[in-house]
Structure 1
Amino acid sequence: MPTDNSVAILGLGWLGEPLARTLQAGGTRVCGTTTGADKAGWLNESGIAALVWDFNEPLPPCWPAALAADTLLLCVPPGKVADYAATLGGLARLAVAGGVRRILFTSATSVYGGSGVKREPDAAADSARGERMLAAEQAVRDSGARVLVLRLSGLVGGSRDPGRFLAGRRFEGGDEPVNLVALEDLLGFIPAILAREDWPDTLNVSAPHHPSRRDFYQRAARLRGLPPPEFDGGGEGKTIDGNALCRWLGMDYGVSDWFAWLAARRPLD
Protein backbone atom coordinates (compact mmCIF):
# COMPACT_ATOMS: atom_id res chain seq x y z
CA MET A 1 0.00 0.00 0.00
CA PRO A 2 1.24 3.55 -0.69
CA THR A 3 2.55 5.64 2.16
CA ASP A 4 2.42 9.39 2.55
CA ASN A 5 6.17 9.71 2.08
CA SER A 6 6.41 7.76 -1.16
CA VAL A 7 6.90 8.89 -4.75
CA ALA A 8 6.79 6.98 -8.03
CA ILE A 9 8.61 8.62 -10.93
CA LEU A 10 7.65 7.52 -14.43
CA GLY A 11 10.76 8.36 -16.42
CA LEU A 12 14.03 8.07 -14.49
CA GLY A 13 15.94 10.08 -17.06
CA TRP A 14 17.66 13.48 -17.20
CA LEU A 15 15.37 14.93 -14.52
CA GLY A 16 13.80 11.84 -12.98
CA GLU A 17 16.99 10.08 -11.90
CA PRO A 18 18.71 12.96 -10.05
CA LEU A 19 15.35 13.92 -8.58
CA ALA A 20 14.90 10.38 -7.28
CA ARG A 21 18.33 10.53 -5.64
CA THR A 22 17.56 13.93 -4.12
CA LEU A 23 14.26 12.69 -2.69
CA GLN A 24 15.83 9.47 -1.47
CA ALA A 25 18.52 11.43 0.37
CA GLY A 26 15.76 13.39 2.10
CA GLY A 27 14.08 10.24 3.41
CA THR A 28 11.42 9.70 0.73
CA ARG A 29 10.77 6.19 -0.51
CA VAL A 30 11.25 6.38 -4.28
CA CYS A 31 10.41 3.99 -7.07
CA GLY A 32 10.16 4.54 -10.80
CA THR A 33 10.52 3.34 -14.35
CA THR A 34 13.14 3.19 -17.06
CA THR A 35 13.21 1.61 -20.50
CA GLY A 36 16.57 -0.15 -20.08
CA ALA A 37 17.17 -3.34 -18.11
CA ASP A 38 20.81 -2.45 -17.39
CA LYS A 39 19.83 0.92 -15.97
CA ALA A 40 17.06 -0.64 -13.92
CA GLY A 41 19.63 -3.04 -12.48
CA TRP A 42 22.01 -0.44 -11.15
CA LEU A 43 19.18 1.83 -9.98
CA ASN A 44 17.84 -1.06 -7.91
CA GLU A 45 21.32 -1.70 -6.53
CA SER A 46 21.49 1.93 -5.39
CA GLY A 47 18.19 1.68 -3.51
CA ILE A 48 15.81 3.14 -6.11
CA ALA A 49 13.25 0.50 -6.99
CA ALA A 50 13.15 0.64 -10.80
CA LEU A 51 10.78 -1.17 -13.13
CA VAL A 52 11.41 -1.61 -16.87
CA TRP A 53 8.39 -0.19 -18.71
CA ASP A 54 7.98 0.75 -22.38
CA PHE A 55 5.02 3.13 -22.57
CA ASN A 56 4.54 2.38 -26.26
CA GLU A 57 3.38 -1.11 -25.28
CA PRO A 58 -0.26 -1.72 -24.24
CA LEU A 59 -0.92 -0.68 -20.65
CA PRO A 60 -1.32 -3.47 -18.08
CA PRO A 61 -4.74 -4.15 -16.53
CA CYS A 62 -3.71 -2.75 -13.15
CA TRP A 63 -1.08 -0.51 -11.59
CA PRO A 64 2.14 -2.45 -10.78
CA ALA A 65 2.58 -3.19 -7.08
CA ALA A 66 6.24 -2.18 -7.43
CA LEU A 67 5.10 1.40 -8.13
CA ALA A 68 2.73 1.77 -5.17
CA ALA A 69 3.08 5.35 -3.96
CA ASP A 70 1.13 8.31 -2.64
CA THR A 71 2.41 10.70 -5.31
CA LEU A 72 3.18 10.11 -8.98
CA LEU A 73 5.62 12.23 -10.99
CA LEU A 74 5.08 12.03 -14.74
CA CYS A 75 8.46 12.85 -16.30
CA VAL A 76 7.83 11.16 -19.64
CA PRO A 77 9.08 13.26 -22.61
CA PRO A 78 6.64 13.58 -25.52
CA GLY A 79 9.23 12.35 -28.02
CA LYS A 80 9.35 8.96 -26.28
CA VAL A 81 5.66 8.08 -26.68
CA ALA A 82 3.66 7.74 -29.90
CA ASP A 83 0.19 8.70 -28.63
CA TYR A 84 1.26 11.05 -25.87
CA ALA A 85 -2.01 12.41 -24.49
CA ALA A 86 -3.87 9.09 -24.59
CA THR A 87 -0.95 7.22 -23.02
CA LEU A 88 -0.43 9.70 -20.18
CA GLY A 89 -4.14 9.83 -19.51
CA GLY A 90 -4.24 6.04 -19.34
CA LEU A 91 -1.23 5.94 -17.01
CA ALA A 92 -2.79 8.55 -14.74
CA ARG A 93 -6.12 6.70 -14.49
CA LEU A 94 -4.33 3.42 -13.88
CA ALA A 95 -2.27 5.03 -11.11
CA VAL A 96 -5.32 6.51 -9.41
CA ALA A 97 -7.05 3.12 -9.48
CA GLY A 98 -3.88 1.71 -7.88
CA GLY A 99 -3.96 4.12 -4.95
CA VAL A 100 -2.01 7.16 -6.19
CA ARG A 101 -3.47 10.30 -4.63
CA ARG A 102 -1.54 13.14 -6.30
CA ILE A 103 0.11 13.60 -9.70
CA LEU A 104 2.82 16.09 -10.61
CA PHE A 105 3.09 16.35 -14.39
CA THR A 106 6.12 17.99 -16.02
CA SER A 107 4.60 19.70 -19.05
CA ALA A 108 6.29 22.39 -21.16
CA THR A 109 5.96 26.06 -21.99
CA SER A 110 5.33 25.14 -25.63
CA VAL A 111 1.65 25.46 -24.65
CA TYR A 112 2.06 29.24 -24.98
CA GLY A 113 1.80 30.71 -28.44
CA GLY A 114 2.38 34.17 -29.80
CA SER A 115 4.66 36.76 -28.23
CA GLY A 116 4.91 38.86 -25.09
CA VAL A 117 4.86 37.87 -21.42
CA LYS A 118 3.14 34.56 -20.70
CA ARG A 119 1.66 33.61 -17.33
CA GLU A 120 -0.20 30.48 -16.29
CA PRO A 121 -3.69 31.48 -17.57
CA ASP A 122 -2.33 32.41 -21.02
CA ALA A 123 -2.04 28.94 -22.56
CA ALA A 124 -3.02 29.04 -26.24
CA ALA A 125 -0.89 26.72 -28.33
CA ASP A 126 0.12 27.70 -31.87
CA SER A 127 2.15 24.59 -32.70
CA ALA A 128 1.52 20.87 -32.96
CA ARG A 129 3.82 20.24 -29.99
CA GLY A 130 1.99 22.81 -27.88
CA GLU A 131 -1.39 21.33 -28.77
CA ARG A 132 -0.12 17.86 -27.87
CA MET A 133 1.10 19.10 -24.48
CA LEU A 134 -2.20 20.83 -23.72
CA ALA A 135 -4.08 17.66 -24.62
CA ALA A 136 -1.80 15.65 -22.32
CA GLU A 137 -2.34 18.12 -19.48
CA GLN A 138 -6.11 17.73 -19.80
CA ALA A 139 -5.89 13.95 -20.03
CA VAL A 140 -3.90 13.81 -16.78
CA ARG A 141 -6.28 16.23 -15.07
CA ASP A 142 -9.21 13.98 -16.05
CA SER A 143 -7.73 11.10 -14.01
CA GLY A 144 -9.45 12.13 -10.79
CA ALA A 145 -6.23 12.74 -8.85
CA ARG A 146 -5.06 16.04 -7.38
CA VAL A 147 -2.91 17.32 -10.25
CA LEU A 148 -0.27 20.03 -10.44
CA VAL A 149 1.05 20.77 -13.93
CA LEU A 150 4.58 22.16 -13.97
CA ARG A 151 5.23 23.89 -17.30
CA LEU A 152 8.99 23.72 -17.68
CA SER A 153 11.00 26.08 -19.86
CA GLY A 154 14.04 24.88 -21.80
CA LEU A 155 16.05 22.43 -19.71
CA VAL A 156 19.76 22.95 -19.12
CA GLY A 157 22.36 21.65 -16.70
CA GLY A 158 23.65 18.19 -15.99
CA SER A 159 24.35 16.54 -19.33
CA ARG A 160 22.38 19.21 -21.23
CA ASP A 161 25.08 21.70 -22.24
CA PRO A 162 23.60 24.72 -24.04
CA GLY A 163 26.97 25.50 -25.59
CA ARG A 164 26.48 22.47 -27.83
CA PHE A 165 22.80 23.00 -28.67
CA LEU A 166 23.15 25.41 -31.60
CA ALA A 167 26.92 25.62 -32.20
CA GLY A 168 28.03 26.33 -35.75
CA ARG A 169 24.55 26.62 -37.26
CA ARG A 170 22.34 29.45 -38.49
CA PHE A 171 18.91 30.37 -37.10
CA GLU A 172 16.22 33.02 -37.22
CA GLY A 173 15.06 35.06 -34.25
CA GLY A 174 18.29 36.21 -32.65
CA ASP A 175 16.54 38.89 -30.57
CA GLU A 176 13.98 36.52 -29.05
CA PRO A 177 14.39 35.98 -25.29
CA VAL A 178 15.52 32.63 -23.94
CA ASN A 179 13.30 30.86 -21.44
CA LEU A 180 15.30 28.32 -19.47
CA VAL A 181 15.45 26.49 -16.17
CA ALA A 182 18.50 24.76 -14.70
CA LEU A 183 18.48 21.23 -13.33
CA GLU A 184 19.75 22.46 -9.96
CA ASP A 185 16.71 24.72 -9.57
CA LEU A 186 14.32 21.89 -10.40
CA LEU A 187 16.02 19.71 -7.78
CA GLY A 188 15.30 22.44 -5.23
CA PHE A 189 11.77 23.34 -6.28
CA ILE A 190 10.22 19.92 -6.80
CA PRO A 191 10.97 18.47 -3.32
CA ALA A 192 9.56 21.68 -1.83
CA ILE A 193 6.42 21.27 -3.94
CA LEU A 194 6.01 17.66 -2.83
CA ALA A 195 6.23 18.74 0.82
CA ARG A 196 3.06 20.83 0.45
CA GLU A 197 -0.58 19.89 0.07
CA ASP A 198 -2.01 23.24 -1.12
CA TRP A 199 -1.11 22.66 -4.74
CA PRO A 200 -2.26 25.17 -7.34
CA ASP A 201 -3.40 23.79 -10.70
CA THR A 202 -0.51 25.07 -12.84
CA LEU A 203 2.88 26.70 -12.36
CA ASN A 204 5.47 27.92 -14.84
CA VAL A 205 9.13 27.19 -14.17
CA SER A 206 11.40 29.68 -15.92
CA ALA A 207 14.40 31.55 -14.54
CA PRO A 208 13.95 35.35 -14.30
CA HIS A 209 16.86 36.22 -16.65
CA HIS A 210 15.87 36.28 -20.33
CA PRO A 211 18.81 37.37 -22.51
CA SER A 212 18.48 37.20 -26.28
CA ARG A 213 19.06 33.90 -28.04
CA ARG A 214 21.93 35.53 -29.90
CA ASP A 215 23.73 36.67 -26.74
CA PHE A 216 23.11 33.51 -24.76
CA TYR A 217 23.91 30.82 -27.32
CA GLN A 218 26.87 32.61 -28.85
CA ARG A 219 28.44 33.08 -25.42
CA ALA A 220 27.61 29.50 -24.43
CA ALA A 221 29.34 28.12 -27.54
CA ARG A 222 32.43 30.33 -27.19
CA LEU A 223 32.88 29.28 -23.54
CA ARG A 224 33.00 25.68 -24.78
CA GLY A 225 35.47 26.51 -27.53
CA LEU A 226 32.85 25.79 -30.18
CA PRO A 227 31.89 27.84 -33.25
CA PRO A 228 29.06 30.16 -32.21
CA PRO A 229 25.72 30.01 -33.99
CA GLU A 230 24.71 32.80 -36.37
CA PHE A 231 21.30 34.44 -36.29
CA ASP A 232 19.31 36.20 -38.98
CA GLY A 233 16.59 38.68 -38.14
CA GLY A 234 15.27 39.83 -34.79
CA GLY A 235 11.95 38.59 -33.51
CA GLU A 236 9.94 39.54 -30.43
CA GLY A 237 9.33 36.08 -29.06
CA LYS A 238 7.69 35.24 -25.75
CA THR A 239 8.88 35.64 -22.18
CA ILE A 240 7.71 33.02 -19.67
CA ASP A 241 6.93 34.47 -16.26
CA GLY A 242 7.96 31.92 -13.61
CA ASN A 243 7.43 34.16 -10.60
CA ALA A 244 4.17 32.62 -9.31
CA LEU A 245 6.18 29.56 -8.27
CA CYS A 246 8.50 31.71 -6.16
CA ARG A 247 5.65 33.55 -4.48
CA TRP A 248 3.89 30.32 -3.60
CA LEU A 249 6.96 28.47 -2.31
CA GLY A 250 8.73 31.47 -0.77
CA MET A 251 11.85 30.49 -2.73
CA ASP A 252 13.97 32.18 -5.39
CA TYR A 253 15.65 30.75 -8.46
CA GLY A 254 19.25 29.87 -7.76
CA VAL A 255 20.12 30.81 -11.34
CA SER A 256 19.28 34.48 -11.78
CA ASP A 257 22.08 35.33 -14.24
CA TRP A 258 22.61 32.96 -17.13
CA PHE A 259 25.93 34.50 -18.12
CA ALA A 260 27.32 33.89 -14.62
CA TRP A 261 25.97 30.34 -14.77
CA LEU A 262 27.67 29.72 -18.11
CA ALA A 263 30.97 31.10 -16.84
CA ALA A 264 30.83 28.87 -13.77
CA ARG A 265 30.40 25.81 -16.00
CA ARG A 266 33.32 26.72 -18.26
CA PRO A 267 35.73 23.79 -18.60
CA LEU A 268 39.05 24.16 -16.84
CA ASP A 269 41.99 24.70 -19.19
Structure 2
Amino acid sequence: MKLILVGAGWLARQLWQPLQQAGFTVCLTSRSVQTAAEFGTAGLVLPLNGDELQDQRVLQLFAGAVVVCLIPASRQQPQLYLSAVDALAALMQKAGSLACIHISSTGIYQGLTGLVSENSRLKLTDPRVKLLFEAELRLQRSRDVCTLRLSGLIGPGRHPGRFLAGNVSSDPDGAVNMVHSSDVAAFMLQVLQQRLWPAVFNLSCPQFCTRRAFYLKACADLGGPEPVFADKAAPGRQIDSSKSLQIAGFQYGCLSAIDAIASC
Protein backbone atom coordinates (compact mmCIF):
# COMPACT_ATOMS: atom_id res chain seq x y z
CA MET A 1 0.00 0.00 0.00
CA LYS A 2 1.21 3.49 -0.88
CA LEU A 3 1.12 6.18 1.82
CA ILE A 4 1.57 9.90 1.38
CA LEU A 5 2.24 12.00 4.47
CA VAL A 6 1.15 15.54 3.64
CA GLY A 7 3.19 17.72 5.96
CA ALA A 8 6.71 16.84 7.09
CA GLY A 9 6.72 18.21 10.63
CA TRP A 10 7.65 16.54 13.90
CA LEU A 11 4.89 13.91 13.91
CA ALA A 12 5.50 12.94 10.29
CA ARG A 13 9.13 12.28 11.17
CA GLN A 14 8.03 10.02 14.03
CA LEU A 15 5.65 8.08 11.78
CA TRP A 16 7.85 7.69 8.71
CA GLN A 17 10.15 4.91 9.91
CA PRO A 18 7.53 2.70 11.66
CA LEU A 19 5.32 2.84 8.57
CA GLN A 20 8.21 1.94 6.28
CA GLN A 21 9.24 -0.92 8.57
CA ALA A 22 5.69 -2.24 8.35
CA GLY A 23 6.13 -2.60 4.59
CA PHE A 24 4.39 0.51 3.30
CA THR A 25 5.80 2.69 0.55
CA VAL A 26 5.93 6.12 2.18
CA CYS A 27 6.24 9.53 0.55
CA LEU A 28 6.38 12.82 2.48
CA THR A 29 5.39 16.21 1.11
CA SER A 30 6.25 19.72 2.20
CA ARG A 31 5.76 23.25 0.92
CA SER A 32 9.48 23.76 1.57
CA VAL A 33 12.02 22.65 -1.03
CA GLN A 34 14.65 22.33 1.69
CA THR A 35 12.45 20.13 3.94
CA ALA A 36 11.37 17.88 1.08
CA ALA A 37 15.02 17.42 0.09
CA GLU A 38 15.81 16.01 3.56
CA PHE A 39 13.87 12.87 2.63
CA GLY A 40 15.66 12.25 -0.65
CA THR A 41 13.59 10.48 -3.27
CA ALA A 42 10.75 10.04 -0.74
CA GLY A 43 10.32 13.82 -0.43
CA LEU A 44 8.05 15.88 -2.67
CA VAL A 45 7.44 19.62 -2.82
CA LEU A 46 3.68 20.17 -2.69
CA PRO A 47 2.53 23.79 -2.26
CA LEU A 48 -1.20 22.90 -2.25
CA ASN A 49 -2.14 25.99 -4.23
CA GLY A 50 -4.25 24.30 -6.90
CA ASP A 51 -1.51 23.83 -9.49
CA GLU A 52 -1.08 20.19 -8.43
CA LEU A 53 -4.44 19.39 -10.04
CA GLN A 54 -2.76 19.89 -13.43
CA ASP A 55 0.42 17.99 -12.60
CA GLN A 56 0.13 14.46 -13.96
CA ARG A 57 3.09 13.28 -11.88
CA VAL A 58 1.35 14.36 -8.67
CA LEU A 59 -2.00 12.91 -9.76
CA GLN A 60 -0.34 9.59 -10.53
CA LEU A 61 1.38 9.57 -7.13
CA PHE A 62 -1.88 10.20 -5.26
CA ALA A 63 -3.88 7.68 -7.31
CA GLY A 64 -4.87 4.73 -5.12
CA ALA A 65 -2.85 6.03 -2.16
CA VAL A 66 -3.85 6.47 1.47
CA VAL A 67 -3.20 10.12 2.23
CA VAL A 68 -2.28 11.16 5.78
CA CYS A 69 -3.22 14.81 6.33
CA LEU A 70 -0.73 16.34 8.77
CA ILE A 71 -1.36 19.97 7.81
CA PRO A 72 -1.08 22.04 11.01
CA ALA A 73 -4.19 24.00 11.97
CA SER A 74 -2.77 27.51 12.18
CA ARG A 75 -4.32 29.79 14.80
CA GLN A 76 -2.79 32.85 13.13
CA GLN A 77 -3.88 32.04 9.57
CA PRO A 78 -7.03 29.88 9.77
CA GLN A 79 -8.15 30.63 6.22
CA LEU A 80 -4.82 29.53 4.78
CA TYR A 81 -5.21 26.28 6.69
CA LEU A 82 -8.68 25.67 5.28
CA SER A 83 -7.49 26.58 1.79
CA ALA A 84 -4.76 23.95 2.05
CA VAL A 85 -7.29 21.39 3.29
CA ASP A 86 -9.59 22.24 0.36
CA ALA A 87 -6.71 21.87 -2.09
CA LEU A 88 -5.81 18.47 -0.64
CA ALA A 89 -9.44 17.34 -0.76
CA ALA A 90 -9.69 18.33 -4.42
CA LEU A 91 -6.41 16.56 -5.21
CA MET A 92 -7.50 13.32 -3.55
CA GLN A 93 -10.81 13.43 -5.36
CA LYS A 94 -9.34 14.07 -8.81
CA ALA A 95 -6.50 11.57 -8.37
CA GLY A 96 -8.75 8.84 -6.99
CA SER A 97 -6.95 8.34 -3.69
CA LEU A 98 -8.08 5.32 -1.72
CA ALA A 99 -8.72 7.00 1.63
CA CYS A 100 -7.47 9.65 4.04
CA ILE A 101 -6.22 9.55 7.61
CA HIS A 102 -6.72 13.01 9.07
CA ILE A 103 -4.62 14.03 12.04
CA SER A 104 -6.92 16.31 14.01
CA SER A 105 -6.81 17.40 17.65
CA THR A 106 -8.71 16.94 20.90
CA GLY A 107 -8.58 20.73 20.96
CA ILE A 108 -11.89 20.29 19.18
CA TYR A 109 -13.39 19.70 22.65
CA GLN A 110 -12.29 23.11 23.88
CA GLY A 111 -14.91 24.69 26.12
CA LEU A 112 -16.22 21.34 27.36
CA THR A 113 -15.64 19.91 30.83
CA GLY A 114 -15.68 16.44 32.36
CA LEU A 115 -15.27 13.24 30.36
CA VAL A 116 -15.52 13.89 26.60
CA SER A 117 -15.84 11.32 23.81
CA GLU A 118 -16.12 11.29 20.03
CA ASN A 119 -19.88 11.76 20.48
CA SER A 120 -19.69 14.84 22.72
CA ARG A 121 -21.55 17.88 21.47
CA LEU A 122 -18.98 20.43 20.31
CA LYS A 123 -18.95 24.10 21.22
CA LEU A 124 -18.96 25.39 17.66
CA THR A 125 -19.26 29.01 18.75
CA ASP A 126 -15.57 28.80 19.73
CA PRO A 127 -13.40 29.87 16.73
CA ARG A 128 -10.77 27.17 17.35
CA VAL A 129 -13.38 24.41 17.61
CA LYS A 130 -15.16 25.65 14.51
CA LEU A 131 -11.89 25.66 12.53
CA LEU A 132 -10.96 22.10 13.50
CA PHE A 133 -14.47 20.78 12.86
CA GLU A 134 -14.74 22.53 9.50
CA ALA A 135 -11.46 20.96 8.36
CA GLU A 136 -12.70 17.51 9.40
CA LEU A 137 -15.92 18.01 7.44
CA ARG A 138 -14.21 19.24 4.29
CA LEU A 139 -11.97 16.20 4.11
CA GLN A 140 -14.81 13.81 4.93
CA ARG A 141 -16.78 15.14 1.95
CA SER A 142 -13.99 14.24 -0.48
CA ARG A 143 -13.04 10.69 0.53
CA ASP A 144 -13.51 8.03 3.19
CA VAL A 145 -11.62 9.46 6.17
CA CYS A 146 -10.38 8.08 9.46
CA THR A 147 -10.11 11.10 11.74
CA LEU A 148 -7.64 10.79 14.61
CA ARG A 149 -8.16 13.40 17.31
CA LEU A 150 -4.85 13.48 19.17
CA SER A 151 -4.28 14.70 22.71
CA GLY A 152 -1.07 16.60 23.50
CA LEU A 153 1.78 14.99 21.59
CA ILE A 154 4.93 13.86 23.34
CA GLY A 155 7.82 11.69 22.24
CA PRO A 156 11.48 11.87 21.15
CA GLY A 157 12.49 15.52 20.89
CA ARG A 158 9.22 16.67 22.45
CA HIS A 159 9.70 16.33 26.20
CA PRO A 160 6.80 17.63 28.35
CA GLY A 161 9.23 18.91 30.99
CA ARG A 162 9.74 21.92 28.72
CA PHE A 163 6.02 22.72 28.46
CA LEU A 164 5.44 24.21 31.91
CA ALA A 165 8.86 24.45 33.62
CA GLY A 166 8.69 27.42 36.00
CA ASN A 167 5.32 28.54 34.61
CA VAL A 168 1.87 28.72 36.18
CA SER A 169 -0.61 25.91 35.52
CA SER A 170 -4.28 25.75 36.42
CA ASP A 171 -6.37 22.75 37.48
CA PRO A 172 -3.53 20.77 39.16
CA ASP A 173 -5.83 17.90 40.13
CA GLY A 174 -7.52 17.68 36.74
CA ALA A 175 -6.66 15.19 34.02
CA VAL A 176 -3.62 15.64 31.82
CA ASN A 177 -4.37 14.49 28.27
CA MET A 178 -1.30 13.28 26.37
CA VAL A 179 -0.41 10.64 23.80
CA HIS A 180 3.02 9.31 22.81
CA SER A 181 3.96 9.37 19.14
CA SER A 182 4.72 5.63 19.21
CA ASP A 183 1.09 4.94 20.16
CA VAL A 184 -0.11 7.14 17.30
CA ALA A 185 2.04 5.08 14.92
CA ALA A 186 0.79 1.79 16.39
CA PHE A 187 -2.84 2.82 16.04
CA MET A 188 -2.31 4.11 12.51
CA LEU A 189 -0.95 0.70 11.51
CA GLN A 190 -4.20 -0.89 12.67
CA VAL A 191 -6.20 1.72 10.76
CA LEU A 192 -4.29 0.84 7.60
CA GLN A 193 -4.32 -2.91 8.05
CA GLN A 194 -8.02 -3.05 8.96
CA ARG A 195 -9.08 -0.17 6.70
CA LEU A 196 -10.88 1.58 9.54
CA TRP A 197 -12.55 4.29 7.51
CA PRO A 198 -14.79 6.21 7.74
CA ALA A 199 -14.43 6.63 11.51
CA VAL A 200 -13.39 9.07 14.25
CA PHE A 201 -11.12 8.12 17.18
CA ASN A 202 -9.68 9.94 20.16
CA LEU A 203 -6.09 8.95 20.92
CA SER A 204 -5.01 9.68 24.49
CA CYS A 205 -3.32 7.73 27.29
CA PRO A 206 -6.29 5.88 28.82
CA GLN A 207 -5.32 5.91 32.50
CA PHE A 208 -6.16 9.00 34.57
CA CYS A 209 -3.21 11.10 35.69
CA THR A 210 -3.34 14.52 37.35
CA ARG A 211 -1.65 17.53 35.81
CA ARG A 212 0.26 18.06 39.05
CA ALA A 213 1.73 14.53 39.13
CA PHE A 214 2.55 14.58 35.43
CA TYR A 215 4.29 17.95 35.23
CA LEU A 216 6.18 17.51 38.49
CA LYS A 217 7.57 14.22 37.16
CA ALA A 218 8.29 15.69 33.72
CA CYS A 219 10.15 18.71 35.08
CA ALA A 220 12.09 16.57 37.55
CA ASP A 221 13.06 14.25 34.69
CA LEU A 222 14.79 17.15 32.95
CA GLY A 223 16.13 18.65 36.16
CA GLY A 224 14.33 21.93 35.45
CA PRO A 225 12.32 24.26 37.70
CA GLU A 226 8.99 22.96 38.98
CA PRO A 227 5.79 24.40 37.55
CA VAL A 228 3.68 26.66 39.78
CA PHE A 229 0.10 25.53 40.31
CA ALA A 230 -2.72 28.03 40.77
CA ASP A 231 -4.62 27.73 44.05
CA LYS A 232 -8.00 27.85 42.36
CA ALA A 233 -8.86 24.85 40.20
CA ALA A 234 -10.36 25.56 36.80
CA PRO A 235 -12.93 23.14 35.34
CA GLY A 236 -11.06 20.68 33.14
CA ARG A 237 -11.79 17.82 30.79
CA GLN A 238 -10.62 14.26 30.39
CA ILE A 239 -10.40 12.68 26.97
CA ASP A 240 -12.21 9.35 26.69
CA SER A 241 -10.09 7.11 24.43
CA SER A 242 -11.98 3.88 25.17
CA LYS A 243 -13.20 3.60 21.56
CA SER A 244 -9.61 3.16 20.34
CA LEU A 245 -9.12 0.32 22.82
CA GLN A 246 -11.91 -1.62 21.12
CA ILE A 247 -9.83 -2.04 17.97
CA ALA A 248 -8.42 -5.55 17.68
CA GLY A 249 -4.63 -5.72 17.76
CA PHE A 250 -4.12 -2.34 19.41
CA GLN A 251 -3.06 -1.49 22.91
CA TYR A 252 -1.37 1.59 24.30
CA GLY A 253 2.30 1.18 25.04
CA CYS A 254 1.94 4.12 27.43
CA LEU A 255 -1.22 3.55 29.46
CA SER A 256 -0.55 6.64 31.59
CA ALA A 257 1.00 9.94 30.50
CA ILE A 258 3.55 9.48 33.31
CA ASP A 259 4.64 6.20 31.68
CA ALA A 260 5.33 8.06 28.46
CA ILE A 261 7.84 10.51 29.98
CA ALA A 262 10.62 7.90 30.01
CA SER A 263 10.33 7.54 26.21
CA CYS A 264 10.64 11.25 25.42
TM-score with structure 2 setting the length: 0.88
Aligned residue among 39, 42, 50 for 2:43? 50
Distance apart, 1:82 and its partner CA: 4.2
Instruction: Write the mapping of 1:175-214 to structure 2, written as runs, cut at 5 A.
Output: 175-214=173-212
> CA 1:190 to 1:118, structure 2 compared with 1: closer, same or farther past 3 Å?
same
Matched, 1:91 2:88: yes
Q: Which amino acid aligns with 1:91?
A: L
Distance apart, 1:228 and its partner CA: 1.2
Q: Is the 8 A contact 1:10 1:76 kept in 2?
A: yes
Report the Cα distance in structure 2 between the residues aligned to 1:121 and 1:74, rounded to whole angstroms: 22
> CA 1:187 to 1:265, structure 2 compared with 1: closer, same or farther past 3 Å?
closer
Q: Corresponding residue for 1:252?
A: 251
Structure 1 unaligned blocks of 5 or more: none
Report the secondary structure of 1:72's partner residue: strand
Q: Which amino acid aligns with 1:228?
A: E
Matched, 1:74 2:69: yes
Q: Is the 8 A contact 1:162 1:217 kept in 2?
A: yes
Aligned residue among 107, 119, 143 for 2:104? 107
Q: Corresponding residue for 2:171?
A: 173
Instruction: Write the mapping of 1:147-162 to structure 2, written as runs, cut at 5 A.
Output: 147-162=145-160
Report the Cα distance in structure 2 between the residues aligned to 1:51 and 1:95, rounded to whole angstroms: 16
Report the Cα distance in structure 1 between the residues aligned to 2:73 and 2:33, rounded to whole angstroms: 21
Q: Which amino acid aligns with 1:213?
A: R
Matched, 1:141 2:140: yes
> CA 1:196 to 1:167, structure 2 compared with 1: closer, same or farther past 3 Å?
same
Instruction: Write the mapping of 1:220-259 to structure 2, written as runs, cut at 5 A.
Output: 220-232=218-230, 233-259=232-258
> CA 1:257 to 1:198, structure 2 compared with 1: closer, same or farther past 3 Å?
closer
Moved more, 63-72 or 246-255: 63-72
Report the Cα distance in structure 2 between the residues aligned to 1:201 and 1:191, rounded to whole angstroms: 15
Superposed CA offset, 1:87-131 (max 9, x none): 213311221211202011011111113111111111403632222
Matched, 1:22 2:18: yes
Q: Which amino acid aligns with 2:129?
A: G
Superposed CA offset, 1:48-77 (max 9, x none): x2112344x555334624732421100111
Moved more, 147-156 or 10-19: 10-19
Report the secondary structure of 2:10's partner residue: coil
Report the Cα distance in structure 1 between the residues aligned to 2:251 and 2:19, rounded to whole angstroms: 20
Q: Is the 8 A contact 2:175 2:208 kept in 1?
A: yes
> CA 1:198 to 1:209, structure 2 compared with 1: closer, same or farther past 3 Å?
closer
Report the Cα distance in structure 1 between the residues aligned to 2:185 and 2:105, rounded to whole angstroms: 17
> CA 1:37 to 1:196, structure 2 compared with 1: closer, same or farther past 3 Å?
same
Aligned residue among 52, 60, 73 for 1:60? 52
Q: Corresponding residue for 1:130?
A: 129
Q: Give the CA RMSD over aligned residues.
A: 2.1
Structure 2 unaligned blocks of 5 or more: none
Report the secondary structure of 1:120's partner residue: coil
Q: Is the 8 A contact 1:51 1:66 kept in 2?
A: no
Report the secondary structure of 2:194's partner residue: coil
- The sequence identity of aligned pairs, in percent, is 30
Report the Cα distance in structure 2 between the residues aligned to 1:260 and 1:205, rounded to whole angstroms: 15
Q: Is the 8 A contact 2:59 2:94 kept in 1?
A: no
